[in-house]
Structure 1
Protein backbone atom coordinates (compact mmCIF):
# COMPACT_ATOMS: atom_id res chain seq x y z
CA UNK A 1 0.00 0.00 0.00
CA UNK A 2 1.31 3.45 -0.90
CA UNK A 3 2.02 5.93 1.87
CA UNK A 4 0.07 9.10 1.02
CA UNK A 5 2.30 11.52 2.95
CA UNK A 6 3.51 14.32 0.64
CA UNK A 7 6.91 13.51 -0.82
CA UNK A 8 7.09 10.10 0.88
CA UNK A 9 7.53 8.06 -2.32
CA UNK A 10 10.02 10.61 -3.60
CA UNK A 11 12.14 10.41 -0.45
CA UNK A 12 12.00 6.62 -0.46
CA UNK A 13 13.26 6.54 -4.06
CA UNK A 14 16.03 9.01 -3.25
CA UNK A 15 16.99 7.08 -0.11
CA UNK A 16 17.21 3.88 -2.20
CA UNK A 17 19.30 5.64 -4.84
CA UNK A 18 21.60 7.06 -2.16
CA UNK A 19 22.11 3.59 -0.68
CA UNK A 20 22.66 2.04 -4.10
CA UNK A 21 25.02 4.89 -4.97
CA UNK A 22 27.05 4.29 -1.83
CA UNK A 23 27.34 0.60 -2.67
CA UNK A 24 28.35 1.41 -6.24
CA UNK A 25 30.94 4.01 -5.24
CA UNK A 26 33.54 1.38 -4.47
CA UNK A 27 33.08 -0.09 -7.94
CA UNK A 28 33.38 3.34 -9.51
CA UNK A 29 36.71 4.27 -7.95
CA UNK A 30 38.81 5.98 -10.59
CA UNK A 31 35.83 6.80 -12.85
CA UNK A 32 35.01 10.35 -13.88
CA UNK A 33 31.56 10.18 -12.29
CA UNK A 34 31.21 9.19 -8.65
CA UNK A 35 27.89 9.04 -6.83
CA UNK A 36 27.67 10.41 -3.33
CA UNK A 37 25.14 9.03 -0.85
CA UNK A 38 24.31 12.62 0.15
CA UNK A 39 23.17 13.65 -3.35
CA UNK A 40 19.44 14.21 -3.68
CA UNK A 41 18.64 13.41 -7.28
CA UNK A 42 16.84 10.67 -9.14
CA UNK A 43 18.82 10.53 -12.39
CA UNK A 44 22.53 11.27 -12.73
CA UNK A 45 24.51 11.90 -15.90
CA UNK A 46 27.78 10.39 -17.01
CA UNK A 47 29.74 11.54 -20.07
CA UNK A 48 27.16 10.01 -22.46
CA UNK A 49 24.46 8.31 -20.37
CA UNK A 50 21.62 8.95 -17.94
CA UNK A 51 21.88 6.76 -14.83
CA UNK A 52 19.60 4.99 -14.40
CA UNK A 53 18.42 5.06 -18.02
CA UNK A 54 14.83 4.26 -16.96
CA UNK A 55 13.03 5.37 -13.82
CA UNK A 56 9.48 4.61 -12.68
CA UNK A 57 7.54 7.18 -10.65
CA UNK A 58 3.95 7.92 -9.70
CA UNK A 59 1.72 10.68 -11.04
CA UNK A 60 2.62 13.92 -9.26
CA UNK A 61 6.22 12.89 -8.49
CA UNK A 62 9.04 15.29 -9.20
CA UNK A 63 12.10 13.84 -10.92
CA UNK A 64 15.43 15.55 -10.33
CA UNK A 65 18.28 15.15 -12.81
CA UNK A 66 21.79 16.06 -11.61
CA UNK A 67 24.71 16.62 -13.95
CA UNK A 68 27.26 14.37 -12.26
CA UNK A 69 29.78 14.54 -15.10
CA UNK A 70 32.25 17.16 -16.23
CA UNK A 71 30.43 17.67 -19.56
CA UNK A 72 27.45 19.96 -20.13
CA UNK A 73 24.13 18.23 -20.86
CA UNK A 74 20.50 18.95 -21.70
CA UNK A 75 17.30 17.13 -20.84
CA UNK A 76 14.84 17.33 -23.72
CA UNK A 77 11.62 15.37 -24.19
CA UNK A 78 11.03 13.61 -27.49
CA UNK A 79 7.92 15.60 -28.30
CA UNK A 80 6.33 13.02 -30.61
CA UNK A 81 6.46 10.29 -27.94
CA UNK A 82 4.77 12.22 -25.10
CA UNK A 83 1.62 10.64 -23.65
CA UNK A 84 -1.67 12.25 -24.72
CA UNK A 85 -2.25 15.41 -22.70
CA UNK A 86 1.31 15.57 -21.35
CA UNK A 87 3.30 18.78 -21.45
CA UNK A 88 6.67 19.10 -23.17
CA UNK A 89 9.69 19.55 -20.88
CA UNK A 90 13.27 20.63 -21.49
CA UNK A 91 16.11 22.35 -19.72
CA UNK A 92 15.95 26.00 -20.67
CA UNK A 93 12.15 25.98 -20.47
CA UNK A 94 11.58 25.68 -24.22
CA UNK A 95 8.05 25.05 -25.47
CA UNK A 96 8.84 22.37 -28.04
CA UNK A 97 11.60 20.04 -29.21
CA UNK A 98 12.58 22.02 -32.30
CA UNK A 99 12.94 25.26 -30.32
CA UNK A 100 15.14 23.43 -27.79
CA UNK A 101 17.29 21.97 -30.58
CA UNK A 102 17.60 25.37 -32.30
CA UNK A 103 18.47 27.13 -29.03
CA UNK A 104 21.21 24.60 -28.31
CA UNK A 105 22.59 24.86 -31.87
CA UNK A 106 22.54 28.67 -31.91
CA UNK A 107 23.62 29.58 -28.39
CA UNK A 108 24.10 26.34 -26.42
CA UNK A 109 20.71 27.03 -24.83
CA UNK A 110 19.37 24.67 -22.22
CA UNK A 111 22.80 23.39 -21.19
CA UNK A 112 23.25 22.46 -17.54
CA UNK A 113 26.83 22.31 -16.34
CA UNK A 114 28.53 19.93 -13.94
CA UNK A 115 26.87 19.99 -10.53
CA UNK A 116 23.70 21.71 -11.76
CA UNK A 117 20.29 20.08 -11.67
CA UNK A 118 16.90 20.22 -13.38
CA UNK A 119 13.55 18.99 -12.10
CA UNK A 120 10.17 18.28 -13.60
CA UNK A 121 6.90 17.10 -12.04
CA UNK A 122 5.03 14.46 -14.03
CA UNK A 123 1.26 14.93 -13.92
CA UNK A 124 0.14 12.57 -16.70
CA UNK A 125 0.64 8.78 -16.64
CA UNK A 126 2.57 7.17 -19.46
CA UNK A 127 6.07 6.74 -20.83
CA UNK A 128 8.27 9.78 -21.43
CA UNK A 129 11.37 9.42 -23.59
CA UNK A 130 14.00 12.14 -23.39
CA UNK A 131 17.55 12.82 -24.56
CA UNK A 132 20.62 15.03 -24.27
CA UNK A 133 20.91 17.18 -27.39
CA UNK A 134 24.74 17.23 -27.68
CA UNK A 135 25.06 13.51 -26.85
CA UNK A 136 21.95 12.08 -28.52
CA UNK A 137 24.00 10.45 -31.30
CA UNK A 138 26.14 8.74 -28.65
CA UNK A 139 22.98 7.16 -27.22
CA UNK A 140 22.31 9.48 -24.28
CA UNK A 141 18.60 8.81 -23.97
CA UNK A 142 16.38 7.99 -21.03
CA UNK A 143 12.84 7.09 -20.07
CA UNK A 144 10.53 8.10 -17.24
CA UNK A 145 7.59 5.75 -16.70
CA UNK A 146 4.76 7.42 -14.81
CA UNK A 147 2.21 5.08 -13.21
Structure 2
Protein backbone atom coordinates (compact mmCIF):
# COMPACT_ATOMS: atom_id res chain seq x y z
CA UNK A 1 0.00 0.00 0.00
CA UNK A 2 1.34 3.43 -0.84
CA UNK A 3 1.38 6.35 1.55
CA UNK A 4 -1.46 8.22 -0.20
CA UNK A 5 -3.74 5.17 -0.07
CA UNK A 6 -2.94 4.61 3.59
CA UNK A 7 -3.65 8.25 4.51
CA UNK A 8 -6.91 8.24 2.54
CA UNK A 9 -8.05 5.14 4.44
CA UNK A 10 -7.10 6.58 7.82
CA UNK A 11 -8.83 9.86 6.97
CA UNK A 12 -12.04 8.11 5.93
CA UNK A 13 -12.04 6.01 9.11
CA UNK A 14 -11.44 9.08 11.28
CA UNK A 15 -14.24 10.99 9.54
CA UNK A 16 -16.66 8.11 10.01
CA UNK A 17 -15.70 7.79 13.67
CA UNK A 18 -16.04 11.50 14.35
CA UNK A 19 -19.33 11.82 12.49
CA UNK A 20 -20.67 8.96 14.62
CA UNK A 21 -19.57 10.80 17.75
CA UNK A 22 -21.26 13.97 16.56
CA UNK A 23 -24.54 12.11 16.12
CA UNK A 24 -24.27 10.60 19.59
CA UNK A 25 -23.59 14.01 21.12
CA UNK A 26 -26.50 15.55 19.23
CA UNK A 27 -28.90 12.79 20.30
CA UNK A 28 -27.96 13.36 23.94
CA UNK A 29 -29.55 16.83 23.90
CA UNK A 30 -33.09 17.34 25.10
CA UNK A 31 -35.63 15.17 26.88
CA UNK A 32 -37.67 14.32 23.79
CA UNK A 33 -36.07 13.87 20.38
CA UNK A 34 -37.91 14.84 17.20
CA UNK A 35 -37.22 12.01 14.77
CA UNK A 36 -38.25 12.02 11.10
CA UNK A 37 -41.88 11.13 11.89
CA UNK A 38 -42.04 10.52 15.65
CA UNK A 39 -41.30 11.91 19.07
CA UNK A 40 -38.85 9.78 21.06
CA UNK A 41 -40.06 8.89 23.60
CA UNK A 42 -43.71 9.27 22.59
CA UNK A 43 -44.72 9.44 26.28
CA UNK A 44 -42.61 11.37 28.79
CA UNK A 45 -43.33 11.66 32.53
CA UNK A 46 -42.23 14.60 34.70
CA UNK A 47 -43.18 16.29 37.95
CA UNK A 48 -45.03 19.58 38.42
CA UNK A 49 -42.60 22.45 37.81
CA UNK A 50 -40.31 20.48 35.49
CA UNK A 51 -39.21 21.82 32.14
CA UNK A 52 -39.28 19.54 29.10
CA UNK A 53 -36.96 20.19 26.16
CA UNK A 54 -37.74 18.87 22.70
CA UNK A 55 -34.65 18.69 20.49
CA UNK A 56 -34.60 18.23 16.72
CA UNK A 57 -31.60 16.19 15.50
CA UNK A 58 -33.42 15.28 12.25
CA UNK A 59 -33.18 17.08 8.93
CA UNK A 60 -36.92 17.83 8.89
CA UNK A 61 -38.61 20.81 10.50
CA UNK A 62 -41.12 19.99 13.24
CA UNK A 63 -43.51 21.70 15.61
CA UNK A 64 -44.53 21.01 19.18
CA UNK A 65 -48.21 21.96 19.32
CA UNK A 66 -50.53 21.10 22.20
CA UNK A 67 -53.97 19.79 21.33
CA UNK A 68 -55.96 22.55 22.97
CA UNK A 69 -58.75 20.23 24.10
CA UNK A 70 -56.28 17.62 25.43
CA UNK A 71 -54.48 19.49 28.20
CA UNK A 72 -55.59 19.80 31.85
CA UNK A 73 -58.05 22.50 32.86
CA UNK A 74 -56.16 25.57 34.05
CA UNK A 75 -52.94 24.57 32.28
CA UNK A 76 -51.02 27.04 30.15
CA UNK A 77 -51.30 26.33 26.43
CA UNK A 78 -47.98 25.61 24.69
CA UNK A 79 -46.76 25.59 21.13
CA UNK A 80 -43.38 26.16 19.53
CA UNK A 81 -43.44 29.65 18.11
CA UNK A 82 -45.22 30.95 21.22
CA UNK A 83 -48.77 30.73 19.88
CA UNK A 84 -51.57 31.03 22.41
CA UNK A 85 -53.97 28.62 20.71
CA UNK A 86 -53.93 25.52 18.53
CA UNK A 87 -55.78 27.40 15.81
CA UNK A 88 -53.15 30.16 15.72
CA UNK A 89 -50.33 27.60 15.56
CA UNK A 90 -52.00 25.68 12.73
CA UNK A 91 -52.69 28.87 10.77
CA UNK A 92 -49.09 30.04 11.19
CA UNK A 93 -47.79 26.75 9.79
CA UNK A 94 -50.28 26.37 6.96
CA UNK A 95 -50.08 29.91 5.61
CA UNK A 96 -46.71 29.03 4.07
CA UNK A 97 -44.68 30.73 6.75
CA UNK A 98 -43.90 27.52 8.61
CA UNK A 99 -44.63 29.26 11.90
CA UNK A 100 -43.45 27.47 14.98
CA UNK A 101 -40.88 25.40 13.09
CA UNK A 102 -38.14 23.81 15.17
CA UNK A 103 -35.46 23.20 12.57
CA UNK A 104 -32.51 20.82 12.65
CA UNK A 105 -30.30 21.47 15.67
CA UNK A 106 -32.86 23.66 17.44
CA UNK A 107 -34.91 23.01 20.55
CA UNK A 108 -38.13 24.11 22.21
CA UNK A 109 -38.86 24.03 25.96
CA UNK A 110 -41.93 24.32 28.14
CA UNK A 111 -42.37 24.22 31.92
CA UNK A 112 -45.38 22.26 33.18
CA UNK A 113 -47.07 23.79 36.22
CA UNK A 114 -50.32 21.78 36.37
CA UNK A 115 -50.53 18.02 36.96
CA UNK A 116 -52.23 15.94 34.29
CA UNK A 117 -51.83 14.59 30.78
CA UNK A 118 -50.84 16.83 27.88
CA UNK A 119 -51.24 15.56 24.32
CA UNK A 120 -49.38 17.30 21.51
CA UNK A 121 -48.59 16.98 17.82
CA UNK A 122 -46.12 17.92 15.11
CA UNK A 123 -48.38 19.77 12.67
CA UNK A 124 -46.57 18.89 9.41
CA UNK A 125 -46.27 15.21 10.36
CA UNK A 126 -49.62 14.70 12.10
CA UNK A 127 -50.96 12.54 9.26
CA UNK A 128 -47.96 10.25 9.73
CA UNK A 129 -48.81 9.80 13.41
CA UNK A 130 -46.25 12.16 14.98
CA UNK A 131 -48.01 12.72 18.29
CA UNK A 132 -46.75 12.70 21.84
CA UNK A 133 -47.82 12.90 25.44
CA UNK A 134 -46.37 14.46 28.57
CA UNK A 135 -47.68 13.16 31.87
CA UNK A 136 -47.14 15.57 34.76
CA UNK A 137 -47.31 14.08 38.24
CA UNK A 138 -47.55 15.76 41.65
| Shorter-chain TM band | 0.7 to 0.9
Are residues 1:145 and 2:135 paired? yes
1:34-76 C-alpha deviation (Å, 9 max, x unpaired): 5438733100011100000000000000000000100000000
How many residues align structurally?
Answer: 115
Runs of 5+ unmatched residues, structure 1: 1-28
Q: CA RMSD of the aligned region, Å?
A: 1.5
1:62-114 C-alpha deviation (Å, 9 max, x unpaired): 00000010000000000001101001100000010000000001111000100
Q: What does 1:1-147 correspond to in 2, within 5 Å?
A: 34-36=23-25, 39-106=28-95, 107-147=97-137
Cα deviation, residue 146, structure 1: 0.0
The match for 2:10 is: none
Q: TM-score, normalised by structure 1?
A: 0.75
Question: Taking structure 1 as reference, are residues 35 and 136 closer, same or farther at Cα in structure 2, changes over 3 Å only?
Answer: farther
